[in-house]
């Protein structure tokens, strides 16, 4: 059933952000809202009408729809254990990265279309951080492709077998890199603070200041979907071939919950970096991906 992972990611996105917020509430000594409260807020936004500035063009109107659609298309490429995604082909992880880039591009030009200088500032930062995070993803996936000999998501994850200390280290580092990439792509701590109210230090939040109603609901839910999407990629590292669906589904959900708890824990104990330190932090993730690449060369005996 190729569409099973698509359904699971959609369902996981309903409570992912809620678990993150609940985790942060527990660490701060508060009860906090229910895990479905963020989806209730998004549901209310989806029932409201959009308000558009007279100075914005059709770009601003279509940008949220394209951004949301790009995330859905990317999710369709994610496999589930030994089951391929809805779409699967050689080099699909490259298409995955750049279909997300298309959505990010439209969200950026949609922010620029408003003529708001603050949104232009946030769009510039969003573009820079996505650009800097891109090498880490491609080095990671290229290393896994080199290790397995395949270039599609489904074949790469089916070909991964953990049997040595180096392979376990690769899986751990790959999971760590994907967690940090997800936090950068979703403008979370320590790169950005989603709860800040100071426009000069906001990144993603300042880009959507002029969005409202249904469009804002799509943008917020796209963030939930992207978190669940990266959680699904991490889960596939542990869904080895031969796992039946009744084992794979609990593992998948468990990894998603653990991922959400990790995100909430990191945001509870890590302070936001200064803007000048963010590029250095993102380059550090690329360095970790290079360690994975060298470990793969070591396993394959191609270190000479």
Average pLDDT of the segment spanning 106-128: 83
Average pLDDT of the segment spanning 214-233: 90
Residue 159, pLDDT score: 78
In this structure, are residues 224 and 124 in contact, taking their beta carbons and an 8 Å threshold?
no
Residue 76, pLDDT score: 92
Which range is least confidently modeled, 129-143, 233-247, 275-289? 233-247
Q: Which tops the pLDDT comparison, 114 or 140? A: 140
Residue 244, pLDDT score: 64
Q: Which residues pair with 36 in a beta bridge?
A: none
**pLDDT exceeds cutoff 60 at 257:** yes
**pLDDT exceeds cutoff 90 at 195:** no
Average pLDDT of the segment spanning 139-157: 88
**pLDDT exceeds cutoff 60 at 145:** yes
pLDDT per residue as tens digits for the range 42-96: 999 889 888 888 888 888 889 999 999 999 999 999 988 778 888 888 888 999 9
Residues near 290 by Cβ (< 8 Å), separated by ≥ 6?
Answer: 139
Angle between helix 58-75 and helix 92-113 axes, rounded to 10 deg: 160
Range among 22-31, 53-62, 218-227 with highest mean pLDDT value:
218-227
């Amino acid at each position: 059933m190729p569409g099973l992972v698509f359904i699971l990611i959609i369902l996981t996105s309903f409570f992912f952000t809620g678990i993150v917020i609940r985790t942060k509430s527990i660490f701060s000594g508060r009860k906090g809202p229910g895990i479905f409260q963020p989806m209730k807020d998004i549901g209310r936004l989806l029932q409201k009408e959009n308000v558009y500035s007279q100075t914005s063009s059709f770009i601003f109107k279509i940008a949220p729809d394209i951004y949301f659609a790009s995330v859905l298309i990317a999710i369709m490429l994610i496999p589930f254990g030994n089951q391929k995604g809805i779409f699967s082909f050689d080099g699909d992880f490259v298409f995955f990265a750049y279909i997300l880039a298309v959505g990010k591009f439209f969200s950026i030009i949609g922010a620029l279309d408003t003529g708001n200088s603050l949104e232009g500032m946030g769009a510039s930062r969003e573009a820079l951080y996505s650009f800097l995070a891109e090498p880490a993803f491609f080095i990671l996936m290229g290393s896994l492709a080199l290790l397995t000999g395949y270039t599609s998501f489904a074949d790469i994850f089916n070909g991964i077998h953990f049997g040595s200390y180096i392979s376990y280290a690769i899986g751990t580092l790959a999971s760590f890199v994907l967690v940090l990439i997800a936090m950068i792509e979703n403008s979370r701590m320590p790169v950005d603070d989603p709860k800040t109210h100071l426009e000069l230090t906001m990144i993603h939040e300042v880009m959507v200041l002029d969005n409202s109603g249904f469009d804002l609901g799509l943008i917020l839910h796209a963030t939930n979907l992207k978190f669940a999407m990266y959680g699904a990629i991490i889960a596939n590292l542990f869904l080895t071939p031969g796992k039946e669906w009744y084992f794979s589904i609990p593992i998948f959900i468990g990894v998603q919950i653990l991922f959400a708890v990790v995100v909430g824990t990191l945001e509870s104990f890590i302070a936001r970096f200064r803007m000048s330190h963010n590029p250095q932090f993102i380059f550090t993730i690329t360095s970790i991906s290079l360690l994975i690449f060298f470990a793969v060369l070591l396993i394959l005996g191609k270190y000479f």
